Amino acid sequence: MNLTSLTIGRARDGLRRKAFKARELAEAYIKAMAAARPLNAYLVETPDRALEAAAQTDARLQKGEALPLDGVPVAVKDLFCTEGVETTAASKILGGFVPPYESTVTANLWRNGALMLGKTNLDEFAMGSATITGARGPTENPWRRRGDNRPLVPGGSSGGSAAAVAARAALAATGTDTGGSIRQPASFCGIVGLKPTYGRCSRWGIIAFASSLDQAGPMTRDVRDAAIMLQAMAGHDPRDSTSAPVPVPDFEKAVGQSIKGLRIGIPKEYRLDGMPKEIEVLWQRGIDWIKAAGATPVEISLKLTRYALATYYIIAPAEASSNLARYDGVRFGLRVPGETLDAMYENTRGQGFGAEVRRRVLIGTYVLSAGYYDAYYLKAQKIRTLIARDFAEAYRNCDAILTPTAPSAAFAIGEKMDDPIAMYLNDVFTVPVNLAGLPGISVPAGLSQDGLPLGLQVIGKAFDEETVLRVAAVLEDAAKFDATPALATGLA
Amino acid sequence: MALDKATVARIAALARIKVPEAELDALAGELSKILTWVEQLNEIDVTGVEPMTAVAHARPPLRADGVTDGGIRDKILANAPETTNGFFVVPKVVE
Amino acid sequence: MSGLIKGRTGEWEVVIGLEVHAQVISRAKLFSGAATDFGAEPNTQVSFVDAAFPGMLPVINRFCVEQAVKTGLGLDAEIHLSSVFDRKNYFYADLPAGYQISQFSRPVVGKGKIVLDLSDGTTREIGITRVHLEQDAGKSLHDQHPTKTYVDLNRAGVALMEIVSEPDLRTAKEAGAYLRKLRAILRYLGTCDANMEEGNLRCDCNVSVRKPGGKLGTRCEIKNVNSVRFVMQAIEHEARRQIEVIEDGGAVKQETRLFDSGKGVTRSMRTKEESHDYRYFPDPDLLPLTFDADWVEGLKTSLPELPDVKKARFMRDYKLSAYDAGLLVAERENAEYFEAVAKGRDPKLASNWVTVELFGALNKLGKGIADSPIDPKNLGELIDLIADSTLSGRLAKDVFAEMITSGKRARVIVDEKGLRQVTDTGAIEAAIDMVLAKEPAKVAEYRAGKEKLLAFFVGQVMKATQGKANPALVNELLKKKLAG
Ligand SMILES: [Mg+2]
Ligand SMILES: [Zn+2]
């Protein structure tokens, strides 16, 4: 049996049946992680830690005291602070930073028995859609176009996590999603990525990009796994003032429940000019599948869809410009000396931040600066109100919304890189969900003409991840997506 | 909005990011392009619309006034580039 | 009072507004659980939140909010049931996050007022613009090393209330009265220790001058003045400086200035070419701060009696003058002391003994009422001894002086020194006879019409009785004998 081909659900059963040991599962993934090094998915590998945790799992299994995620080898996006393990957000400015604390979400995972394989690559400070802006180089997508061996991007910013899960070099991974950073790479890599409702998972200990948009979520092989992972990750955290004090339902129970009678919104504004035919075809197929499952597609209007990206590219950089002010060479990370305090700041931040981060910090500084605040930032916040209102309006007439996840399949490393705005367009379908604080999932639903995975997105009402998971599981069943990437090292 | 070199230099100083003189022009071009692109928002009438400051509508949790933290100087200083006698150290600030 | 300053070209009016930073009394910081105690080893009262480590998030301290609301209520101010924490962005070594969490557009407390008690017994109302909550910064030490600055974050994140006045103050004296009154209110409320020397009350002064009733002039801000006396000196100097600049044909430049307490002058702070651009925006890590009107109402009913109300009560119930009442309520402990002394006694007498004798003596000793060698019970006993004629006012002063130095009870001193007042007419008459016999010439003068000499005879009789004779009796008997 190839242990790395199992889902969390199956691995859990196998471990409890004692078909194999947690140590064996961990070793298989450690091997796959090593074999996947050419992908540059991991920034840090922590095999010893994984084996140590596996031994504890085995001891618990022996006593019949298994925890919900016992023995599940997980990759962690390097935006989550992990105690004693270098955490850099793929930035030079945090080089060598070893957090003396553990993020709430990862602590929740470990408490539930999961074990850490390592820290995965991302766009620097999660700013990007291709995992190419990190200080330690790009991550490769394990998929290849048919008959073309050029390396492709895994999407981003959680591209390292997506690539690791797709390549079978991690059973599951954590990601964060500010404008699509879980869902878009999940779509590019043929896996499931779930962005929960804002406030569902604690942000405590996650390096902030844009605080009002950031949300952690799972990246997994299937929908059930996403439910299992979210169950462990979620929960109210009194250390995060924006964490929602609401109970965590049994997400796994939602998987497999009928969607008969549900009304599924199909937003007409998502039919973009120039959208590739294959994306439209995929979307239509999704609509047919939910219809076949007894749900009713209804046309809805999300009027401001085309303005969401521009809104996002004011709000996110504004918050980031302030969130990233703490990287100043005084208390942690890189310091580049300077004669005066200001010179030290300018040198440190000038050399410590990469081009994309610099660009966004400057945009953010500008839109908040005297004389421009009202025209840019305040205006964007008002439009954000309207975007959230659009969704609220739509939900009076439907239970969930179905859209494509991204306007294209994965592109090659090097493409779109000289045009920031072309790059930003990757997130056109995902960004509105963050602005409204809603849950969204990407499910692999088919292959492009080039043989690359494409995802469909299900968007839910706030704190209704259960409906999202129900609909996603139906799509998953119908799509029967079973293609594997060319570089699935875990399967080799 | 087209940003000129001087404006970019001013913003970079405000953000404490050193931008080499040679890069200012190119950067001004990139930033101007982005700002011009976001100005599509001017097409929307937002009269009477409240700005959205938070997604969550709940009240923020309030903490009891107890000392539950601190006393971890070693951990606070462990990652610092320069410390002495329990202080962080930076280049001298002339006031 | 006019309060105008005379210049070469006529009279000038000074316009003053004060911004006071008051450190909130609380155990833990505004957004973290680290302690606020003064004087700890560097960086020992710092959490990862205070040091702005990656991924750290603020959580509001309920008690600090309560303290700010109480302060607002004490200033008779509007309490905003919804307010917002904003980020004020700037870089400095002791500001770890690169921003200060403060309140900008929607502070927790809005318009209020402070009533000043002026020395002529009148009052004047000074508007409060707002009170907001914010974090303190850490401390930079510039004098420890020739080329380096040392940073201690113990203070970083401690809660401050910024209390902003309207530009209603007109003289340095009024500014001093305002600060003293604000200090009293904060102490009554228990929301701030209000000790300027220890830095838990810091004052920025906005000063401008204009021709009386004219257009507002350009203002200068004098930063971080740390005593009431210095605030008054700084304003006085700054106003005169500005008048001189204008009268010399110049214009006042809007700038931030520092007060040099050694030289008693203000000087321009080295300011950068670019002005500050704080880029305020709502902190996305914190939701708007909201509370119910009921909760505020509850706090209101729990407030202690504040100086103004107490003063009115003292005037009404004890029939004290506005001046004396104002003096007594200026500090909560003084008022409590006075009430303990006045209980069951003549309030006027009690007030005199407290405000004149006791305050005078404590002042000389450099002590506060809390360290008074005489407690209210003992001072009350002394007053009782006057009331039952055991002591004359004159003797009582001697006893009081002894009480101050020895801390002994009044009765004990009276007994030990035999200081009982002589009210026996026979003894007094004997002393009078002796004095009159010794001074026949003066007696003759008196009888010839020089009645002013009575005081002389009284003095002589008192001297002859070692001050123990009851002065009223001496007067009465002397007049009788001299009339002859
Ligand atoms: Mg101020
Ligand atoms: Zn302030």
Interface predicted TM-score (ipTM): 0.97
Residue A170, Cβ neighbours under 10 Å: how many?
34
Contact (Cβ atoms closer than 8 angstroms) between residue C75 and residue C112? yes
Residues of chain C with Cβ-Cβ distance to B16 below 8 Å are 91
DSSP-derived secondary structure letter, A431: H
CA–CA separation, B13 vs B15, rounded Å?
5
Report the run of H or E that residue C204 belongs to, with start and end: strand C201-210
Q: Which two tokens stand for residue A476?
A: 């998953």
Residues of C in contact with A238 (CB under 8 A): 59
Mean predicted confidence (pLDDT) in A35-58: 98
The span from the CA of A436 to the CA of C241, in Å, is 56
Strand-pairing partners, residue A193, are: A219, A442
pLDDT tens digits, one per residue of C70-108:
999 999 999 999 999 999 999 999 999 999 999 999 999
Q: Cβ(B75)–Cβ(A100) under 8 Å?
A: yes
Residue A489, both tokens? 């090292």
- Do the Cβ atoms of C89 and A342 come within 8 Å? no
Distance of CA B18 to the CA centre of its chain: 15
- Inter-chain CB proximity A341 and C149 less than 8 Å: yes
Closest Cβ opposite residue C287 in set A205, A208, A241: A241
**Residue keyed to tokens 């092989």:** A221
Smallest CA–CA distance, residue B49 to chain C, in Å, is 17
User: Which of B34, B35, B87, B92 would best serve as a mutation to test chain A binding (most A beta carbons within 10 A)?
Assistant: B34
Q: What angle do CA A295, A300, A301 make, to 5 degrees?
A: 165
Q: Look at residue A26 in the predicted model and tell me its pLDDT.
A: 98
Our answer to whether residue A202 is catalytic in this structure is no
- Check A91, A103, A129, A157 and give the catalytic one: A157
| Closest alpha carbon to C53 in C41, C63, C43 | C43
The structure tokens listed for C287 are: 């939701």
Mean pLDDT of all residues in C280-295: 95
- What distance, in Å, lies between the first and last C-alpha atoms of chain C? 53
**In terms of C-beta density within 10 A (0-12 exposed, 13-18 middle, 19 or more buried), how is residue B78 classed?**
middle
- pLDDT class of A492 with cuts at 50, 70, 90: low
> Which tokens in the block code for residue A314?
């004011």
Cβ atoms of residues C150 and B94 within 8 Å = no
pLDDT tens for each residue of C424-441? 788 888 889 989 999 899
- With a cut of 70, say whether residue C274 has pLDDT above it: no
Average of per-residue pLDDT values in chain A:
96
Residue C131 distance to chain B (closest CA, Å): 20
Contacts of C451 (CB under 8 A, 6+ apart): none
How many angstroms does the Cα of residue A114 sit away from the middle of ligand 1? 49
Q: Subunits with at least 3 CB pairs below 8 A relative to chain A?
A: B, C
Options A77, A195, A416, A461, the catalytic residue: A77
| Residue C451 vs residue A88, higher pLDDT | A88
Cα C49 from Cα B33, distance rounded (Å): 37
Peptide bond into A157 cis (omega under 30): yes
Taking residues C455-475, report their average pLDDT.
86
Q: Quick check: B70 and C63 CB within 8 A? A: no
State the catalytic residue, choosing from A181, A243, A321, A408: A181
Q: Which tokens is A184 given?
A: 């878009």
* pLDDT interval class at C275 (50, 70, 90): low
C-beta atoms of B88 and C289 within 8 A: no
Ligand nearest to the CA of C162: 2
CA distance C101 to chain A (A): 11
Active site residue A181: yes
* The predicted structure's pLDDT at residue B57: 67
CB A455 within 8 A of CB A426: no
Say how many Å lie between the CA of residue C396 and the centre of ligand 2: 51
**For position B54, what pLDDT does the model report?**
81
CB A41 within 8 A of CB A163: yes
Beta carbons of B65 and C62 less than 8 angstroms apart: yes
Closest ligand relative to C223 C-alpha: 1
Residue range A145-166: mean pLDDT, rounded: 97
Chain C closest CA to A99's CA: distance in Å? 8
Name residues 38-67 of chain B within 8 A of A (Cβ): 38-44, 46, 49-56, 58, 60-61, 63
**Look-up: residue for tokens 């009713």?**
A296
pLDDT for the residue numbered C270: 60
Band of pLDDT at residue C272, cut at 50, 70 and 90: very low
- Cα distances from C265 to residues A259, A480, C241, C438, in angstroms, run 79, 82, 9, 63
Structure tokens at B74: 């070693």
A459 DSSP 8-state letter: E
Q: How many CA atoms lie within 13 A of B38 on its CB side?
A: 29
Q: In the 8-state DSSP scheme, what is residue A352?
A: H
| Spatial contact of C342 and C334, defined as CB atoms under 8 Å apart | no
Percent of chain C with pLDDT over 70: 98
pLDDT of residue C1: 46
Q: What are phi and psi of C125, to 5 degrees?
A: -95, 130
Q: What is the CA radius of gyration of chain B?
A: 22
Residue C366: what are its φ and ψ, rounded to 5°?
70, 30
Residue C273: pLDDT above 60? no
Residue C63 has pLDDT above 90, yes or no: yes
Q: Hey, which of A142-151, B48-57, C407-416 has the most confident mean pLDDT?
A: A142-151
Distances (CA, A) of C76 to A162, C71, C311: 58, 9, 16
* Distance between Cα C82 and ligand 1 center (Å): 21
Rounded CA-CA distance B17/A362 in Å is: 9
Distance from Cα A371 to the centre of ligand 2, integer Å: 22
Nearest-Cα distance to chain A for C205, in Å, is: 24
Q: The domain at C425-483 falls in which architecture?
A: Orthogonal Bundle (1.10)
Q: A86 with A96: CB under 8 angstroms?
A: yes
Which residues does chain B have within 8 Å of residue C142's beta carbon, measured at their own beta carbons?
92-95
> Rounded to an integer, what distance in angstroms lies between the CA atom of residue C94 and that of residue C152?
7
**Do the Cβ atoms of B91 and A343 come within 8 Å?**
yes
User: Is the pLDDT confidence value at A235 over 70?
Assistant: yes
Amino acid identity for residue C199 in this structure: G
Instruction: Report, as an integer, the average pLDDT of A460-482.
Output: 98
Asked if A442 is an active-site residue, the reply is: no
Cα distances (angstroms) measured from residue A355 to each of A135, A349, B10: 10, 11, 18
Counts of helices then strands in chain A (DSSP H, E): 16, 11
In order of start, what are the domains of chain A with their CATH numbers? 3-257+440-491 (3.90.1300.10)
Model pTM?
Answer: 0.92
Which of chain B's residues have a Cβ under 8 Å away from the Cβ of A311?
41
Give the residue with greater pLDDT, C272 vs A106.
A106
Contact indicator for C158, C27 with CB cutoff of 8 Å: no
Q: Which residue would you say has higher pLDDT here, A235 or C123?
A: A235
CA–CA gap between residue A271 and residue A298 (Å, rounded) = 15
pLDDT of A97 strictly over 60: yes
| Residue-level pLDDT at A360 | 97
Eight-state DSSP code of residue C79: B
Question: For residues B92 and C149, what is the distance between their CA atoms, to the nearest angstrom?
Answer: 4
Give the residue with greater pLDDT, C418 vs B23.
Answer: B23
Q: List Cβ neighbours of C356 (8 Å cut-off, separation of 6 or more).
A: none
Looking at the complex, report in whole angstroms how far the Cα of residue A256 sits from the nearest Cα belonging to chain C.
Answer: 36
Cβ-proximal residues to C113 (8 Å cutoff; 6+ apart), any chain: C75, C76, C77, C125, C126, C127, C128
| C475, pLDDT greater than 90 | no
Angle at C74 between CA C68 and CA C77, to 5 degrees: 80
Q: What mean pLDDT is predicted for residues A363-392?
A: 97
Nearest beta carbon to residue B88 from set A331, A369, A381: A331
Q: Testing the interface with C: which of B67, B74, B79 to mutate, by most C Cβ within 10 A?
A: B67
**Where do the structural domains in chain C lie, given as residue ranges?**
4-298, 303-417, 425-483
Say how many CA atoms lie within 13 Å of C187 toward its Cβ: 20
Contacts of B49 in chain A (CB under 8 A): 382-383, 385-386
- State mean pLDDT over B51-76: 91
Rounded to an integer, what distance in angstroms lies between the CA atom of residue C210 and that of residue C473? 61
Nearest to C54 among A81, A241, A319 (CB): A81
Cβ <8 Å between B77 and C140: no
